[in-house]
Amino acid sequence: MKTTDNASASLAEQSNDEYSVRITGFWSGRSELIVPALVFILAGFLTYGTATMKVMGTSVPGPQFFPTIVCVLLFLMAIIHTIQILRTRRFPHEDSEGQNADFSTDLLSDLADTENEAIYVPTARPSVTGKRKAYSDWKTLGMVAGAVAAFILALPVLGWILSAAGLFWVVCRALGSKRPLFDLSVAILFSSAIQLAFNAGLGLNLPSGFLEGLI
Amino acid sequence: MESLSLLMEGFSQALTPMNLLWVVIGAVLGTAVGVLPGLGSAMAVALLLPITFSLEPTAAFIMFAGVYFGGLFGDSTSGILLNTPGNSSAIASTFEGHRMALDGRAAKALATAAMGAFIGGLIATTVVVFFAPVLVKMATAFGPAEYFALAVFAFLAISSVVSDSVVKGLMSLGLGLVLALVGVDGPSGTARYTLGMPELFDGMSIVVITVGLLALGEVLHIASRIHRDETAVRVESKGRPRLDLSDIRRAMPAWLRGTAFGVPFGVIPAGGSEVPTFMAYGLEKKLAARNGDTDFGTTGSIRGVAAPEAAANATAGTAMGALLALGLPTSATAAIMLAAFQQYGMQPGPLLFERSGPMVWTLLASLFIGLVILLVLNMQFAVLWAKLLLIPRHYLYAGITVLSVLGVYAISSSIVDLWILLGVGLLGFMMRRYKFPLAPVLIAVILGPLAETELRRALTVSQGDLSILIDSPVTIVLYGLLAITLVITGIQHLRHSKTARSQALKFDTDKLGV
């Protein structure tokens, strides 16, 4: 399969509606397959759990009745979804960024008689020159998710003030703050204020960790 | 007239200094999350729930009432000034609102939006005061089959009729139902899908799921895009928002027409105010074309802002009525309010008016008070609210991350809950990345247990005979309406996907050079 960098770049110049998209193999535009894959695993686990459930009581319909319906629904939808993705590649579109999937844009534009007027007007055009970056910024995402995981591990040991301040600071860094020292003071102020408000005002105890007794 | 005297009693309860303070706090918080794009009242209430747990329920609900309406007041501010609506309920008013701002009439647009939200909310809440008792009387005749039909109606309307893709909507619904299934099954005492972990016997907390999906999921989504998207250009708003008499004369019919769209939609589980706001906007557009109104679509029409804003808050007002009287959440935000009632051990529905009557009427009274406070806050300080958009985004989202873990930890000081939060947050990110609707998950988590219990109750009574489910006039009407809307949606989806697919296939083969 040939790459079409040039073709797509020129296409992007021709019409402002398309962005440079490269099809380099089977997975291009098909990464969404991870969703039905996870749903299959979940539905499989659910089926196993339903089959091996230790049922108590003798009520009919019992506790396995409703989960069975949910299992069928999940399997059915996952199959249809897989077929849909295999038939048509789907590329994330910067135009639709921020668009809410809770509502069908087609339905809304029919109701408002807006026809093809864009419901979300993109505010800035992404660059189409140079190598296209992955749609999602996995590095930043990984830092934020990692910071939350680290927070959960650190909370019992370090206590609320230190671990929450650390979480705040790392998320700030990941999202592009350029003032590490200033952020550090904001972070500690924020987490200490919460600790104070909670312990004094609301009577809820947040763990103090190894600082126990010192404060 | 009994309603009036009960409402007056509610006012006397709500007008104590302490309760007034809670309304103001709620209104300020609600407006703030409304102004900030990507955050909404649903998330704010979910974050507040664990923190307010030590409060008296009346105080907490008075505050939630402020948050509930406040989000709808604030969301048009960022739409008008930034062209990025704070919530999807403000998309329709953004079209004309931003045009007015570009034309140098930002202050006027902000004032029109605030007045519209006030009028819509006021009329709808008045309707609720007089019709809630009627709804309650109707609902007392509902049995298990009727409640199951209502739940099915809400499930399918929100997951398939209004959402972008039927398949994705139903998958979201299924995911939500699975989350709701975890835990010990009430009627039989069977432990389901708990992996033997005692922490999961009580099921997953609704707060954890909501905060994970709406707050942490949003932060993770922003993280994946913040270095990719460029920020929007802000239009400066000069002067105090003020409307002169000719503006009011022009906007008044639009405010009333918008309200007329919003009021009935509050009781229909169509996911909230998006559908009515677009219908109101569409009508104003048609009327403008007929009357030769040249503002519309060029310099921005005051009516194009007035009607959708009034529709949005009118929907929220009657949605509160449907929630209180029937126990039926018609939008994600209403679903979180229902979860809030459940946290306090109350079940909205006909019995709520009997058991917690004074609280309900105090809540309704504080909806009125909240509207007045919100009008003042948004008319006088609209420009100040827009300053919120100047907070650097990294501080904002770092703060939300810390508040999310705080809220979840505060429920039961459980580390397991925090891991579930991270898992649900990642799920929320994946759903946003692949454009899966989030509302069906929340509706399923909150109505799932009710649907299951009522279905099993109905079938136990009928000894397994399925016909009991469609045995009464109410259920026949509900399923009939549902079938008709599903058919119409099906045709509409087919029509749109046919054009979309022919374009996509052409694009695909072009790329491959076939």
Beta bridge partners of B192: B183
Of residues A41 and B79, more confidence is placed in A41
- What was the pLDDT predicted at B82? 83
Q: Looking at the complex, report in whole angstroms how far the Cα of residue B133 sits from the nearest Cα belonging to chain A.
A: 32
Q: Is the dihedral of CA B163, B169, B173, B179 positive or negative?
A: negative
Cα separations (Å) of A149 from A144, B141, B320, B428, B450?
A: 9, 50, 37, 16, 33
Residue A100 confidence (pLDDT): 64
What is the percent of chain B with per-residue pLDDT over 70, rounded to a whole number? Answer: 95
B280-322 residue pLDDT tens? 999 999 899 888 888 888 888 999 999 999 999 999 999 999 9
pLDDT tens sequence across B231-271: 667 777 666 677 888 899 999 999 999 999 999 998 888 77
CA B155, CA B271: separation in Å to the nearest integer? 10
| A147-198 pLDDT tens trace | 999 999 999 999 999 999 999 999 999 998 889 999 999 999 999 999 888 8
pLDDT tens-digit series, residues B143-167: 899 999 999 999 998 888 888 788 9
Distance CA(A12)–CA(A7), nearest Å, equals: 9
Residue B495: predicted pLDDT: 80
Q: Is residue A10 over pLDDT 50?
A: no
- Residue B179 vs residues A49, B426, B513: alpha-carbon distances, Å: 14, 14, 45
Q: Within chain A, how many helices (H) and strands (E) appear? A: 7, 0
**Residue ranges per structural domain of chain B:** 2-385+392-471
Domain assignment present for A106: no
Closest chain A C-alpha to B469 CA, distance in angstroms:
14
Q: Show the domain range for A81.
A: 5-95
Asked if B331 and B277 touch (Cβ cutoff 8 Å), the reply is no
For residue B332 the two structure tokens come to 């994600």
Same domain for A88 and A144?
no
Segment B16-45 shows an average pLDDT of 89
Quote the pLDDT of residue B505. 55
pLDDT tier at B197, thresholds 50, 70, 90:
confident
| Preferred mutation among B165, B178, B208, B509 to probe A, highest tally of A CBs within 10 A | B178
- Strand B191-192 and strand B183-184: the pairing is antiparallel
Ramachandran assignment for B49, one of left (phi > 0), alpha (psi -120 to 50 degrees), beta (any other): alpha
A87 with A144, same domain?
no
- Give bridge partners of residue B184 from the DSSP assignment: B191
Q: Which residue has the higher pLDDT, B179 or B272?
A: B179
Identify the CA nearest to B325 among candidates B69, B131, B46, B94: B131
Q: Which of A81-90, B198-207, B230-239 shows the lowest mean pLDDT across its residues?
A: B230-239
Residues A90 and A167 both lie in one domain: no
Mean pLDDT of chain A: 77
Phi, psi values for residue B184, rounded to 5°: -80, 130
Three-state secondary structure call for residue B191: strand
Q: Does B290 touch chain A (CB under 8 A)?
A: no
Query: What percentage of chain A reaches a pLDDT higher than 90?
Result: 40
Residues 6+ apart with CB under 8 A from B125: B317, B320, B364, B367, B368, B371
Stretch B32-44: mean pLDDT: 85
B187 interfacial to chain A (CB closer than 8 Å): yes
Split into its structural domains, chain A has a count of: 2
Q: Tokens for B418?
A: 């925090």
Domain-located, residue A190: yes
Q: Which residue, of A62, A95, A128, is where some domain finishes? A: A95
Q: What is the pLDDT of residue B332?
A: 84
Q: Is B402 part of the contact surface with chain A (CB cutoff 8 Å)? A: yes
Query: How much is the pLDDT for A16?
Result: 41
Better-scored residue on pLDDT, B416 or A210: B416
Q: What is the pLDDT of residue B139?
A: 86
Over 90: is that where the pLDDT of B170 sits?
Answer: yes
In the structure, what pLDDT confidence band is assigned to residue B504 with cuts at 50, 70 and 90?
Answer: low
Structure tokens at B226: 């913040």
Average pLDDT across chain B, whole number? 87
Q: Given A102, A111, A164, which is nearest B282 (Cβ)?
A: A111
Task: Assess B416–A contact: CB distance below 8 Å, yes or no.
Answer: no
Chain B, 108-147: which have a CB under 8 Å from a chain A CB?
A: none
Residue A28 lies in a domain: yes
Per-residue pLDDT of A98-152, as tens digits, reads 556 777 777 777 777 665 444 444 433 343 333 445 677 889 999 999 999 999 9
How many angstroms separate the CA atoms of B317 and B127, rounded?
Answer: 9
CA distance A81 to A39: 10
pLDDT of residue A9: 41
Radius of gyration of chain B (CA): 23
Q: Which of B395, B469, B491, B501 to mutate to test the interface with A (most CBs of A within 10 A)?
A: B395
Q: Would you call B187 and A63 a contact, using CB atoms and an 8 Å cutoff?
A: yes
The whole-number pLDDT of residue B255 equals 95
Q: How many helices (H) and strands (E) does chain B have?
A: 20, 2
Residues B455-490 pLDDT 10s: 999 998 888 888 888 888 889 999 999 999 888 888
H or E stretch at B184: strand B183-184
